[in-house]
Structures are given as C-alpha cells and as structure tokens.
Amino acid sequence: MITVVGTGTGAPVAEDVLAGAALVVGGRRHLDAVRLPEGAEQVVLGPLAPAMDTIAGYVDKELPVVVLASGDPGFFGIVRVLAERFGSRLLDVRPGVSSVAAAFARAGLPWDDAVVVSAHGRELRTAVNVCRARPKVAVLTGPGAGPAELGAALLHEPRKPGRVLVVASALGCADERVERVTPAEAAARDWGTAVSVVLCLDEARALGPVRTVAGVPARPAQWALAEGGFAHRDSMITKFEVRALALARLGPGLGDLVWDVGAGSGSVAVECARLGAAVVAVEKAADGVGRIRANAHAHGVDVDVVHGSAPDVLAGLADDPDAVFVGGGGRELPAVVTACARRARRTVVVAMAALDRVPAAREALTAAGFTCEGVLLQSSRLAPLPGDVTRLAATNPVFLLWGERNVGTPVPSEGVLE
C-alpha cells in the first residue's frame, strides 16, 4: 500500500501515518518536518522517474510506502503519476488543504468561480492567456513561470488596468507571505523558490455571481449571434453566416490568444472571447474602438482594443496569437495577411468582399507556409412580404479563406514569455 499524505499548508503529518513505513518519499522540506520511523529509507523527490522506480521495488516486496506531498496531492499533484504507475486501488490518499484553497482563503475570496491553471513544467503563455480572459485565476507556478514572469507578460496589456496579483509563498509555514502587487511590481522582484500559487484578479469582478458548476464557465449556448446583438455602423459587421464558419476555423478556446484585425464592430472578437479566448481587437477608426469596447461590455467579456492601422500597428503587439481573423479588404490586405501569418501559431482566417483581393491573400498565406482553403459564402434569409408571405433576401457574397500552419513549419517564438 502507498499512503499519500498532503502536507505543507499547515496540517501536520500524524505520527501513526508514518509508523511502520519502510520507505518515505517527499521533498526535502517535507522530510525535515517529520520524524521518520527507525530504519525507514527516505528518498528526496527530484526527478520523478528514479523515485517511482524505488517505490516499485518496495511495492513488489509488499512493503508499506509513505509519500509526502504539498496540499492536496490529487489536485495537479503526485497522485496522477502514482495512479498511472501503480493503479488507484493501491493508493490511500489523505489530502491536505490545497495551495489554491489556502491562497483564496488568505485573500478572503470564494473560489468556486475561479479557473485554475498550472504553469509548472508547462508553457506560461497558456496561463497568461487565461489570466487575460478570466477575472479570477489561480496559477500554479514553477521554475521560469513564477510571479515575475507572469507579471512581465501581463505588463504588455496596459489597456486593461485593474489586474492585481496575490502572491502566496510558503503557505502554512512560519515564514508564510501573502502579498498583493501589481504586474509591474511582480515583474521587478526576485521571488525565490517558496511561491506556492499566484492569484490573478480583476478586483472589480472578483466576487462573481453564484455558480452551479465550479471552475471553467460553460461554453455559451449559442454563437454566430445575430447582427442585432452588436452596435455597428451602416451594417458594417461580419454577418452571422460568415462568423459561424470563421469561428469554426479559428477554434478559439480557453488558453488561446486571438487577434481580430480590422475588427469593425468587434463581433468576431466578442464571440471569440465568449468562447474563452484572450482577444486583441485592432481597429483604425476611433469611433470603431468605442463600439468594440461597448460591445464587449454588453456581452460581459474582456477584449483588449488597440487603436491603429494594420499592418504597422501589429509590430507593437507583444505576444504571438494562436489564431487571427482579418476583416475588410483594402489595398493593404496582402501586407496585413503576411504580417499575421508570420506570427500566427495555428490559423489565419480572412474575410473579403472583393474577388480581386482573393489571389493576393491566398498567396500571402501559402508563402508563409500555410495550407490554404476557401469558400464563397452566399446566403439568402427569410424575409416577410405584405400579405403574410415570405421571400428570400440575399446577403452580399463574401469570400472566406483560411490557412492552417503546415506540420513542420516553425511556430513563431514567443519573445515575451520565453
């Protein structure tokens, strides 16, 4: 039997749990905090593979093993590795308080509406994009992915004030620290190795509505919303039929970053944000910037709006997107598509009304190493006529191209995060 004990957030390990253990495995601070049974071997956790092999030798001999871990070892913890190697029936898990629960308790906040993301041994960009998109996020940190790196990444969104980082270090220990800092303050400090978790909060929305399902919010019941759901000028909005296919090809989700270039009313940006992505909307018209912000607010999502003309303004966007939607079809379209394709990690979708723009946009995508496909979308909507009859009202045809990055084509380096 392998007994897995959660500790390190204030709960001591009962001596009877350790009694009779032939092997005790844990981090150095966990082992130093307990009295080991006489004659028991100890293994200090570093690389997991050698520790698992040592545990396997004791399991084969049916000798009792105790594994000490931080907080709740079943929550982004060692229980997964142990269950995969030895099977869940061999485990006796005794959880402690998770670092996430402890951090929110110290902050005086509920966390049933929080999103938890791990940056320990994973790409930091996913955690950063979740923090951009959601008002209440807990980030489990690791080497190279701590408060300083998270703060530095969030600094590149000056248009979105209000984010605060709650950095919880050495939770449950005598030198426990819980500090509220701005992203700039976090980026300027050396936090050492004792950080347990970082909360990223939009303080204006830290107390969300009562939830029925904890964690990641449910995907919206509908997308490709009617044009009437957005403020727009003179019908200058991506029609819902076009939006439906564009969203299907963009594939926005939690942890993604999407650019909406030539955003207009921001309908695509808002829809991507509703589906969980972090979104940057680029718009050259000053009144359009205001409409995008109003539409984002009306739909209860965060959209970072950048006022400027593509392609030049794109150089100032620090982080490379997973997917890009390009709307409009001006003379700069080939250059805009080229700039977006150079930085998109996955997909670029282009909507055009003019046939003349299609070859150049397609060439820009293929030249950047994308496989390009496209369709001409022509739709007719039901419209009433006098006498209680119905006609078909044609909408303007739109060309939709999409490029998928070819396997083997280098993905742009993420200069800010690496």
Q: Break the chain into its structural domains and give their ranges.
A: 2-97, 100-205, 227-405
Q: Residue 10 has what pLDDT?
A: 61
Cα separations in angstroms, 79 against 43, 61, 159, 219: 17, 21, 41, 29
Round to whole Å and give the CA distance between 98 and 138: 12
Q: Which residues of 133-162 are buried (b: 16+ CB within 10 A; e: fewer)?
A: bbbbbbbbbbeebbbbbbbbbbbbbeeeee
Q: Residue 189 has what pLDDT?
A: 92
299, 378 contact by CB (below 8 A): no
Q: Could you report the per-residue pLDDT of 358-368, keeping only the tens digit for each?
A: 999 999 999 99
CATH architecture, range 100-205: 2-Layer Sandwich (3.30)
Q: Residue 157 has what pLDDT?
A: 63
User: Given this chain, do its domains 100-205 and 227-405 carry the same CATH topology?
Assistant: no
Q: Residue 235 has what pLDDT?
A: 78
Domain 2-97, CATH among 3.90.180.10, 3.30.2350.10, 2.40.340.10, 3.40.1010.10: 3.40.1010.10
Q: Residue 241 has what pLDDT?
A: 95
Q: Could you report the per-residue pLDDT of 311-351, keeping only the tens digit for each?
A: 999 999 989 999 999 997 688 999 999 999 999 999 999 99
H or E, element range at 339: helix 333-343
Tell me the pairing of strands 257-261 and 195-202.
unpaired
Average pLDDT of the chain? 90
**Positions in the chain whose pLDDT score sits under 50:** 415-418
Beta bridge partners of 400: 351, 375
Cα separations in angstroms, 330 against 355, 360, 372: 12, 12, 20
Q: Residue 11 has what pLDDT?
A: 64
For 227-405, CATH gives 3.40.50.150
Q: Could you report the per-residue pLDDT of 175-204, keeping only the tens digit for each?
A: 889 999 999 999 999 998 888 899 999 988
Round to whole Å and give the CA distance between 399 and 298: 29
* Sign of the four-CA dihedral 333, 335, 338, 342: negative
Can you read off the two tokens belonging to residue 318?
């620090």
Can you read off the two tokens belonging to residue 139?
């980030």
Cα separations in angstroms, 98 against 31, 67, 140, 175, 305: 19, 16, 11, 18, 36
